């Protein structure tokens, strides 16, 4: 099978972690007899510096011509610390989501036995937690119009907008995943206050009748934030709008004990993007100390969701499990033991895969 992917390393630690993930992808393809074809392109601060655009047309063209996109991270202190910057790296991420039609971000949250001690929650609360957060990615307040500032600069405004079509599309996707898992779906909104949330609930309640085998519950976002901490094992599949999902998925990510361990997939109309959920971590850039495992696990998601290659995805996950079991890990999860370099962890995983 020919696998055609675009590789967007991005900023900060992005190039280092993507390099290791790409080696893992090559190893899997060689083991299973696939042809991996890939090309790299600029995105984020690197693209602004080179082309004045955080998501250049050339990068978009490459993504459109690819079956999947392996993406690192976006962000740079150079722009974070400049409040007057007219172009920011994060605009590239929003542009990529919009132009590729990346309407759903999928974040599996799975605990690793060797890392439970690093979770801020008690072991009995998090051991065995295994759920999926699905966040709508191209609508809501991040994309709503109008938005801006008043002429005197004293007032700022953003608008949250959703259509029935946008909501129905992601609710159906969420039901599809629930059917493959434990058949429970939690729809998160703020329907007691927000008009857009009332539309979300209205659409979900209509669709609920089409999926009688799935247990559907509705939960206000503030309650969901509490339940994630009090009882994370109660969730199976959670679906919500853009801003709520942004906040809740970051909250959920710390349950496992390390932000550096969680992958994500952004499912799109034209292609899909696979990336770690952590940021560009510029303080570690170039030091060979960043944790590559979330990016490598994103490769597993890529094999699974973009190419429907289940055995290949499982091979990657087994390699990561082996690295964890042998304590060949980077400093963020070394727990006082020996800390290995990014490249050393990557090599151990590719050696396992070969």
- How many CB atoms are located within 10 Å of the residue 87 CB? 14
Distance (Å, rounded) from C-alpha 153 to C-alpha 296? Answer: 44
Interval 126-151: pLDDT, tens? 988 999 999 999 899 998 899 999 99
> Same domain for 125 and 233?
yes
The lowest-confidence range among 25-39, 133-147, 256-270 is 256-270
Residue 134 lies in a domain: yes
124 is catalytic: no
> Same domain for 176 and 252?
yes
Residue 113 lies in a domain: no
Cβ contact 186:238 at 8 Å: yes
Residue 236 lies in a domain: yes
Q: Active site residue: 49, 80, 158, 250, which one?
A: 250
Q: Active site residue: 190, 211, 236, 281, which one?
A: 190
| DSSP secondary structure letters along 264-290 | EEEEESS-EEEEESS---GGGTTSS-S
Best CA proximity match to 272, nearest among 158, 105, 120: 105
User: Given this model, what pLDDT does residue 260 score?
Assistant: 72
Interval 313-328: pLDDT, tens? 999 999 999 999 999 9
- pLDDT band for position 309 (cuts 50, 70, 90): very high
The answer to whether residue 86 scores a pLDDT higher than 90 is: no
* Dihedral sign, Cα of residue 104, residue 108, residue 109, residue 115: negative
Q: What is the mean pLDDT of residues 100-119?
A: 88
Q: What is the mean pLDDT of residues 201-226?
A: 98
User: Given this model, what pLDDT does residue 51 score?
Assistant: 95
The answer to whether residue 115 scores a pLDDT higher than 90 is: no
Q: Active site residue: 130, 246, 288, 321, which one?
A: 246
> Same domain for 124 and 252?
yes
The answer to whether residue 155 scores a pLDDT higher than 80 is: yes
User: What strands lie across the sheet with 2-10, from one edge to the other?
Assistant: 35-40, 2-10, 68-73, 272-276, 263-268, 102-110, 130-136, 237-240, 184-189, 215-220
246 is catalytic: yes
Which CATH number fits the domain that encloses residue 224? Answer: 3.40.718.10
> Same domain for 300 and 352?
yes
User: Given this model, what pLDDT does residue 207 score?
Assistant: 98
288 is catalytic: no
User: Given this model, what pLDDT does residue 82 score?
Assistant: 75
Q: What is the mean pLDDT of residues 279-303?
A: 95
Considering the chain, what is the average pLDDT of its residues?
94
Q: What is the mean pLDDT of residues 54-80?
A: 95
The answer to whether residue 258 scores a pLDDT higher than 80 is: no
* Dihedral sign, Cα of residue 234, residue 236, residue 242, residue 245: positive
- pLDDT band for position 67 (cuts 50, 70, 90): very high
Of 212, 241, 256, the residue at which a domain comes to its end is 256
User: Given this model, what pLDDT does residue 137 score?
Assistant: 92
Q: Active site residue: 65, 82, 222, 308, which one?
A: 222
Of 201, 230, 256, the residue at which a domain comes to its end is 256
| DSSP secondary structure letters along 87-124 | S-HHHHHHHHHHHHTEEEEEEEEE--GGGGGGSSS-HH
Cis bond before residue 146 (omega within 30° of 0): yes
The answer to whether residue 119 scores a pLDDT higher than 90 is: no
Distance (Å, rounded) from C-alpha 298 to C-alpha 28? Answer: 13
If you average pLDDT over each of 7-11, 117-121, 122-126, which comes out highest? 7-11
The answer to whether residue 257 scores a pLDDT higher than 90 is: no
- pLDDT band for position 256 (cuts 50, 70, 90): confident
Residue 114 lies in a domain: no
Q: In this prediction, what percent of the chain has a pLDDT beyond 70?
A: 99
275 φ/ψ angles, rounded to the nearest 5 degrees: -155, 155
Residue 27 domain boundaries:
1-106+262-354
User: Given this model, what pLDDT does residue 335 score?
Assistant: 77
Residue 111 lies in a domain: no
Q: What is the mean pLDDT of residues 65-76?
A: 96
If you average pLDDT over each of 81-95, 118-132, 292-306, which comes out highest? 292-306
222 is catalytic: yes
The answer to whether residue 247 scores a pLDDT higher than 80 is: yes
Find tokens 């609508």 and name the residue.
139
Burial annotation 210-226 (CB, 10 A radius, 16+ → b, else e)? ebeebebebbbbeebbe
The answer to whether residue 268 scores a pLDDT higher than 80 is: yes
Domain count for the chain, please give it: 2
Cβ contact 161:143 at 8 Å: yes
- pLDDT band for position 21 (cuts 50, 70, 90): very high
- pLDDT band for position 261 (cuts 50, 70, 90): confident
Q: Active site residue: 30, 38, 80, 142, which one?
A: 142
Of 256, 278, 304, the residue at which a domain comes to its end is 256
338 is catalytic: no
| DSSP secondary structure letters along 328-341 | ---GGG-TTSPPPP
pTM: 0.86
- pLDDT band for position 254 (cuts 50, 70, 90): confident
User: Given this model, what pLDDT does residue 255 score?
Assistant: 86
């Amino acid at each position: 099978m020919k696998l055609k992917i675009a590789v967007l390393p991005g900023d900060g630690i992005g190039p280092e972690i993507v390099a290791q993930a790409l080696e893992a992808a090559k190893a899997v393809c060689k083991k299973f007899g696939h042809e991996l074809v890939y090309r790299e392109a600029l995105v984020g601060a690197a693209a602004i510096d080179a082309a004045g655009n955080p998501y250049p047309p050339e990068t978009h063209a490459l993504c459109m011509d690819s079956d999947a996109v392996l993406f690192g991270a976006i962000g740079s202190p150079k722009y974070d610390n400049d409040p007057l910057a007219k172009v920011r790296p994060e605009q590239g991420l929003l542009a990529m989501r919009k132009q590729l039609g990346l309407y759903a971000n999928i974040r599996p949250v799975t605990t690793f036995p060797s890392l439970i001690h690093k979770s801020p929650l008690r072991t009995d609360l998090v051991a065995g937690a295994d759920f999926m957060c699905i966040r709508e990615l191209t609508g809501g307040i991040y994309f709503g119009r109008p938005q801006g500032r008043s002429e005197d600069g004293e007032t700022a405004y953003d608008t949250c907008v959703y259509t029935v079509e946008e909501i129905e599309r992601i609710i159906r996707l969420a039901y599809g995943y629930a059917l493959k898992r434990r058949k429970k779906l939690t729809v998160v909104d703020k329907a007691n206050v927000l008009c857009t949330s009332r539309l979300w609930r209205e659409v979900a309640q209509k669709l609920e009748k089409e999926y009688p085998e799935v247990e559907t519950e509705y939960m206000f976002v503030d309650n969901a934030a509490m339940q994630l901490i009090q009882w994370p094992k109660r969730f199976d599949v959670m679906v919500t709008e853009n801003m709520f999902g942004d906040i809740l998925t970051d909250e959920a990510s710390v349950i496992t004990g390390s932000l550096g361990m969680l992958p994500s997939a952004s499912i799109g109309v034209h292609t899909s993007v696979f990336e770690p959920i952590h940021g560009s971590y510029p303080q570690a850039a170039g030091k060979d100390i960043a944790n590559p495992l979330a990016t490598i696990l994103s490769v597993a998601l890529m094999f699974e969701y973009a190419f429907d290659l289940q055995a290949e995805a499982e091979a990657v996950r087994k390699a990561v499990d082996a690295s964890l079991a042998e304590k060949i890990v980077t400093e963020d999860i070394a727990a006082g033991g020996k800390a290995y370099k990014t490249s050393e962890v990557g090599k151990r995983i590719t050696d396992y895969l070969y």
